[in-house]
Structure 1
Amino acid sequence: MHSAVAVSFLGRRLVGRLMVRWAGPIRRGGGTRETSPHPAGDQTCRHFSRRKKNFKSQIWQQQGPQVDMGDSSNKKLKMASHDADIERFDQAFHQLVTELIDEDAKNPEISDAMVRFRQVLEYNCPGGKRNRGLSVITSYRYLVNSDQLTEENIHRAMVVGWCIEWLQAFFLVLDDIMDQSQTRRGQPCWYRVEEVGNMAINDACYIESCIYKLLRRFCRDQPYYVDLLELFQGTTYKTIVGQSLDLITSPDGKVNLSNFTEERYNAIVKYKTAFYSFHLPVAAAMYMAGITSKESHENAKTILLEMGRFFQIQDDYLDCYGDPAVTGKVGTDVEENKCSWLVVQALRLVNNGQLTLLQENYGQNDPTKVAAVKQLYGELCLQDEFWKFEESSYTQLMTLINSSHQDLPKEMFVAFAQKIYKRKK
């Protein structure tokens, strides 16, 4: 087989497998179809097993843009490096906490505070999926030559990765207080821990301050230090703006479904989630790799913000349909009057009677009313809507990846897409 044909076939085959993973496990056998009222008349939800089978067929037959996945042996090497990085990444966390705490614990005036802050860091920073932090190391490995993968550089990338994880922890501690959430990562939210309460606000400020202590300690003598500082500060600002949009759109105790527009939802997702979850890790790695081209950063941002949008939409989907034992969080978007993707789609599909039902039951901390909203979601086939969105997202994402700047490895973005589309938590 000609080498070019072989590479094309391998790329199509791997992308096909990737999309089967995205679609999730296939239900075997038959089963009745669910019907539901719809503004256009009685509509029938497509049976999931048939949909997924058709979806797989569409991927194999697709004539649109495909991604060259590169040499398979190189991919195996990257995966092996990733597995080793996970172990080293976890070890680095404890080392960094010890360095930060021990340094200040020597001062008798503040030693009591350091005892507390160790608990703050160890309770709130680890325990997540670590995707954001690990993405820094993964991206850095893709972006630099092998001679730049020194122990010092890898460790520095891990430090920056943990800075992003701590930025995430800072946001989550405050977000849980504002949303009055119950659990986070399978344990009580920090503010709900005995004798913590509103002290969690100051604890969150401490977590954020550690980011800049770490950047100063490990990156101050690097040419990209200022770029990293501006990137972290700019991302924090954008995320705060996104949180404000979220709170304004879904005020406590005031349900106004007219606020829940597609445009407002996309703005909340972009600023509150996509910048810090997807753009920040890769942009940081790009600066560390010496990539400063504005065009390259803009192209990467376009792809990463699209990934971030899908990630949040999937998060909204899992809030309603995910298993709390797997996600580590009890979904509360309906009770909390959240402008989630599901309610935005519901508002697009409802008839007048269903709209009334939604208005009467959404944003109420009442199990019966929450159940009524979720039953309406089922009648509107919102799970089906999610799968349709995922299919269109794939096409758009592959187009964006193929049009990325020449100094950005396409396989790096494909690797991130794999993590997103198969996740269950």
Structure 2
Amino acid sequence: MKTVPELKALINGQIATLKSKKEPKNLYEPIHYVLSMGGKRIRPLLMLMTYELYKDSYSEVLPAAAAIEVYHNFTLLHDDLMDKSDLRRNKPTVHNVWNENTAILSGDTMLILSYHLLAKVPAEHLSKVLNEFNKATLEICEGQEYDIQFETRDNVKAEEYLDMIRLKTAVLLASSMRIGAVVAGASSKDADLLYKFGLNVGLAFQLQDDYLDVYGDPKVFGKNTGDDIATNKKTYMLIKACEKATGENKRLLNEWIHTAFFERQDKIKAVTAIYNELGIDKICKEKMDEYYNVAIEALSNVSVDSKLKEPLFKIAAELMNRNI
């Protein structure tokens, strides 16, 4: 079995093959720009780690791993455009370096390139892989639409939010693992268990993002904390606080949510104090643990030797211990 750095090198090498496309320059340069920003490569990494539970020859799965990463970065490119974000991984976003039309067209091209890579999967697995990929990509669009709707709704429920992050974030992790299992020839039962593992790790990971935006150390977390509070982003933390708040806490929380002019740090400090009083940090961590435990149980039931599963147990633990 290869180490994580070795697997990432394989992924990056496969992605680098896309750089042969250079013309028209304004179409392909933004794609190379986005893919060169780095990132954890967690989705293709999980695909390869799943694959090597059963096989150790990576050539038949590497194009699919690269396809998942290209697709993921396509979604980020279009997300940045929809959100009008200025930075991605501390670099200017594509629509700022080029323009909005270029961001749309280069993003569309990335989607097509991801299918081009997927088509290299061995023929006997291609139908299942495409069906899984199509299901995931459609669900991600559904999740994005729900996320957009939530921005203008004051009555979002926790269950709706959890379903949104399942669609928008967790399904791509889960599908990456199912595709790895399918290409490796795993049983349907194992493929389902690995999907369940990825889905629940993805849910726990996104909830941890909500938590760290309030309680994380910016030096460890990698970005400023409090942005979600400052922008009234509908996170699990805010939704649960709105559900639980009563009396003075409810009045203050509503006041901060609907106040147009405020000092950023004052709002973050005040809303965090309300979270603390309501025990929102504990509620969020309990939900994270719930998903994480389901993930670990699913992986435990996969029918391969326990030693082979150790890298997946380890990466799950690392994902859930960024700064808590």
Shorter-chain TM-score: which interval?
0.7 to 0.9
User: Structure 2 matches for 1:211-230, cutoff 5 A?
Assistant: 211-216=114-119, 218-219=120-121, 221-230=122-131
Question: Is 1:340 aligned to residue 244 of structure 2?
Answer: no
Instruction: Provide Cα deviations, 1:257-310, integer angstroms capped at 9, x if missing partner.
Output: x22x1210111011111101x2121111111111252x3333333332221110
TM-score under structure 1 length normalisation = 0.67
TM-score after normalising by structure 2: 0.86
1:290 maps to what in 2?
A: 185
Distance 1:365 1:178 in 2: 24
**Aligned counterparts of 1:308 and 1:391: Cα–Cα separation in 2:** 12
CA spacing shift, 1:282–1:82, aligned 2, 3 Å: same
Aligned to 1:13: none
Question: CA, structure 1 residues 200+91, in 2 after alignment: closer, same or farther (shift >3 Å)?
Answer: same
**Cα distance per residue 1:308-357 (max 9 Å; x no partner):** 11011011122333355554545532344432111123124322221222
Instruction: Choose which of 230, 251, 271 in structure 1 pairs with 2:167.
Output: 271
Q: Distance in 2 between matches of 1:304 and 1:91?
A: 24
Aligned equivalents of 2:211, 2:118: Cα separation in 1: 35
One-letter code aligned to 1:85: L
Identity, % of aligned positions: 24
Q: What is the root-mean-square deviation of aligned Cα atoms in Å?
A: 2.7
The 5-angstrom pairing of residues 138-177 of structure 1 reads 138-144=49-55, 149-150=56-57, 154-177=58-81
Which of 207, 211, 216 matches 1:313?
Answer: 207
1:241 alignment counterpart: 142
Contact 2:197/2:294 (CA < 8 Å) preserved in 1? no
Q: Distance in 1 between matches of 2:276 and 2:317?
A: 28
1:122 offset after TM fit, Å? Answer: 2.3
Q: Decide whether aligned partners of structure 1 residues 362 and 84 sit closer, same or farther in structure 2, where only a CA change above 3 A counts.
A: same
Match for 1:399 among 287, 297, 304? 297
* Match 1:383 to one of 281, 292, 298: 281
1:134-193: per-residue Cα shift (whole Å, max 9, x none)?
11111111122xxxx33xxx1342322121111111111121222233322122232233
In the other structure, the counterpart of 1:206 is: 109
Specify every segment of 5 or more residues in structure 2 that has no aligned partner in the other structure, as ranges: none
1:397/1:235 CA distance change after superposition, 3 Å: closer
Higher helix proportion: 2
Question: Where in structure 2 are the equivalents of 1:112-191 lying within 5 Å?
Answer: 113=24, 115-126=25-36, 127-144=38-55, 149-150=56-57, 154-191=58-95
Go from structure 1 to structure 2 and tell me whether the alpha carbon gap of 1:88 and 1:407 turns closer, same or farther (over 3 Å shift).
closer
Aligned in 2, Cα 1:328/1:395: closer, same or farther, shift over 3 Å?
closer
Q: 1:173 to 1:230 in 2, by over 3 A?
A: same
Aligned partners of 1:386 and 1:183: how far apart in 2?
A: 28
1:334 is paired with a residue whose SS is: helix
Larger radius of gyration: 1
How many angstroms apart in 2 are the aligned matches of 1:174 and 1:394? 29
Per-residue CA distance 1:355-399 (angstroms, 9 max, x = gap): 222222227585244443234334434334444444444544443
Q: Which moved more, 1:390-399 or 1:308-317?
A: 390-399
Count of residues in correspondence between the two structures:
317
CA 399–135 in structure 1, closer or farther in 2 if over 3 Å, else same: closer
Q: d(CA) in 1 for partners of 2:31 and 2:261?
A: 32
**1:304 aligned to 2:215?**
no
